[in-house]
Structure 1
């Protein structure tokens, strides 16, 4: 799923000016993946992200959620791309680092934005290695490594993590594309590692902790934003204790309806099943109003009739809202606990909610598009 509307804020900031516009590839059916190259950057597509979330437990049993995501946005204006200066801009990079302290019920996040000039940020094309300043993610011989650090003393936040896939990667959708609307006008190339055994160190509240846990990785790239009638999405990743995983999303229209939804169910052996709108339903159980004024659904009941499964999703913390780009974009991205309504089955997940405070239309209109 598109990982945040921040990417499209960048697109609007880098819209064509007096120069000609670079043509970016659309995501088309029939795409054939080749790894490790497809873990790397795809500069022929305008937007791309590498997204990691997970749930970590220290030796005392305290639980912490984390997010570390790297975004790349290609510049449209050829007059800017052709600038011979060392500061020329071909891609803009941003990254989000967030910590959900589930014991203290506190949420913290930080963002970074940088051009690729002078090596300040970048992403390799031959394999996964993305960085911005001293935040990084890379892959070596099938193992992922993440690192990010901010602050000092009591305010220091840091992760140094090793992530080992326990299942094969999952390619979402059919024929190499993931749809964003019923007519498949907008699509992306999208795959995930849905269960990554995770270990390493976490620095929180000035204390360095040895942690273990399970993480999730998404990599998605394409060149299409949402339709003019659409305003945002609700995206969910779920990891159950029986080694089953679930990814699903619903795209919302400006009138409040959500006619399009899509997902993938992954069984304990890694076998996948594509889910369509008729295969599942999602119902919000409450609302939460953020300090910035946005009203988000909060707490969900997910039903999969064919699987005889009803899951209850409960946020670890209500306020897991990220306020980025100087307040121009707010979205909710947070850790949730998962329980099955009629059994002892449980798990954990992450939820992303966009367009509840600032929709794509208002972002683009600010730039005269």
Structure 2
């Protein structure tokens, strides 16, 4: 190799090394920004040319029958949030979600089945936070959903009943850190939020779903700890069901969800959807034991982050909020009971128990994603 060739090779090496250094040291903020706006869309994108049932405001939702399986829509989920207490008076917060997502609109069986199931669980208590997640394909027996009798499952995790509705029912799952076996009993009626179950997620964007809520449920059963200790636990629970065909939009970033038991007879649901190129959209409703719903106009809801908590990963998450609903004399500050409740599920998020103080003294649960 002559002197000129060595010089050219040296120049090429310098260019390659410099380019690599620039790429590797690209500001973390840019990387996080891309993640916030694209991470959820990368997993659950728009249905595009796939053909699923549209979410329209004139569809009749039937209670409690529509807690069933809806394979004609692209996605749906069933959620259980419970505040449990053991014999010693210790409190445990349990959140379980079963999620179904169709990767395309084919009707197929076996390994060709396009239905993907995801289930995850969070348990918060004085012992710490424990989480687990499972993912499986439908069509091969490992995961699925049935309407009659109601059942949704992944492996040995199941939520089932003996009828076409989820109540009375049984929730059973086991992880390496804990196990639960709970009986669920209705303590109030189902409720349809939004326009008879048509739940808008923005005024200007075509984003909506169907939603059913059951905030008043009694539960009793057993909680098994990692050391094998079996505890009898009982308490109250909130069941939710949502389904549709447009899980996220092109500019969707994340959402902030709050559930609060305002009293023994009233509960409050607040959802705030955030977008890259549009203003956030907030919806809220007050539900009672009889299934009555008071939908709150968007312009009558003020919710803002009061303070942020920064985690080691660099994420800044709002764990303190101010919520005001003047028409219902609600003015509270919402705070997380514990700080370190970030969970790295398919969609990373913060999940944990909250308390509200001010015009009302309330307890509930908060889920924050996209931060």
Q: TM-score range by the shorter chain?
A: 0.7 to 0.9
Count of aligned positions? 330
Match of 1:212 among 225, 228, 234: 234
RMSD: 2.4
The alpha-carbon distance between structure 1 residues 285 and 11, as it changes in their structure 2 partners (threshold 3 A), is closer
Shift of 1:71: 0.4
Given candidates 165, 181, 185, the residue that maps to 2:186 is 165
Listed one character per residue, the Cα deviations across residues 129-185 of structure 1 (whole Å, up to 9, x for unaligned) are: 10000100013353131111011xxxx311111121211111111143100101361
- Correspondence for 1:92: 116
Q: Does the 8 Å CA contact 1:144/1:162 hold for their aligned counterparts? A: yes
CA shift, 1:33, in A, is: 2.4
> Match of 1:311?
332
Q: TM-score w.r.t. structure 2 length?
A: 0.82
Extract unaligned runs of 5+ from structure 1.
Answer: 357-369
* CA 1:195–1:266: 2 relative to 1, 3 Å: same
Matches within 5 A, 1:187-206: 187-206=208-227
Pair 1:65 & 2:93 matched: yes
Task: Give CA-to-partner distance per residue, 1:295-319, whole Å, 9 cap, x none.
Answer: 1101222112122222232212112
C-alpha separation in 2, matches of 1:90 and 1:189:
22
The alpha-carbon distance between structure 1 residues 132 and 6, as it changes in their structure 2 partners (threshold 3 A), is farther
Aligned to 1:107: 129
Q: Show structure 1 runs of 4+ deviating over 6 A.
A: none
Which residue does the alignment assign to 2:365?
A: 350
**Secondary structure of the equivalent of 2:340?**
coil
Specify the alignment match of 2:150 in structure 1. 128
Residues 53 and 8 (structure 1 numbering): CA distance in 2 closer, same or farther, change over 3 Å?
farther
Counterpart among 235, 239, 252 of residue 261 in structure 2: 239
SS at 2:140's partner residue?
helix
Cα distance in structure 2, aligned partners of 1:313 and 1:71: 28
Q: Give the distance between the partners of 1:177 and 1:346, measured in 2 at CA.
A: 30
Match of 1:229 in 2: 251
Indicate the residue corresponding to 1:38 in structure 2.
Answer: 66
Aligned to 1:252: 274
- RCO greater where, 1 or 2, for CA within 8 Å and sep 6 or more? 1
Q: CA deviation at 1:31?
A: 1.6
Q: Distance in 2 between matches of 1:202 and 1:35?
A: 31
Q: Counterparts of 1:272-283 in structure 2 under 5 Å?
A: 272-283=293-304
CA radius of gyration, larger in: 2
Flag the 1:47–1:301 CA change in 2: closer, same or farther, 3 A.
Answer: same
Q: Where does residue 348 of structure 2 map in the other structure?
A: 330
Q: 1:6 to 1:320 in 2, by over 3 A?
A: farther
Are 1:312 and 1:338, in contact at CA under 8 Å, matched by a contact in 2?
yes
Q: Relative to 1, partners in 2 of residues 1:245 and 1:225: Cα closer, same or farther, differing over 3 Å?
A: same
**Residue 202 of structure 1, CA deviation:** 1.1
Is residue 75–residue 89 contact of structure 1 (8 Å, CA) maintained in 2?
no
Q: Distance in 2 between matches of 1:185 and 1:127?
A: 33
Query: In structure 2, what is the equivalent of residue 366 of structure 1?
Result: none
Q: What is the deviation of 1:283?
A: 2.4
Q: Distance in 2 between matches of 1:7 and 1:123?
A: 24
> d(CA) in 2 for partners of 1:333 and 1:238?
14
Report what 1:360 is aligned to: none
Task: Work out the CA distance in 2 between the residues paired with 1:296 and 1:139.
Answer: 37
Pairwise CA distance, 1:286? 1.4
- Compute the TM-score of the two structures, normalised by the length of structure 1: 0.82
Shift of 1:36: 5.0
3-state SS of 1:306 partner: helix
Q: Say if 1:53 and 1:68, in contact at 8 Å, map to a contact too.
A: yes
Compared with structure 1, are the counterparts of its residues 71 and 263 closer, same or farther at alpha carbon in structure 2 (3 Å cutoff)?
A: same
Question: Are the aligned partners of 2:267 and 2:286 in contact in 1 as well (CA < 8 Å)?
Answer: yes
Distance 1:55 1:6, change over 3 A: farther
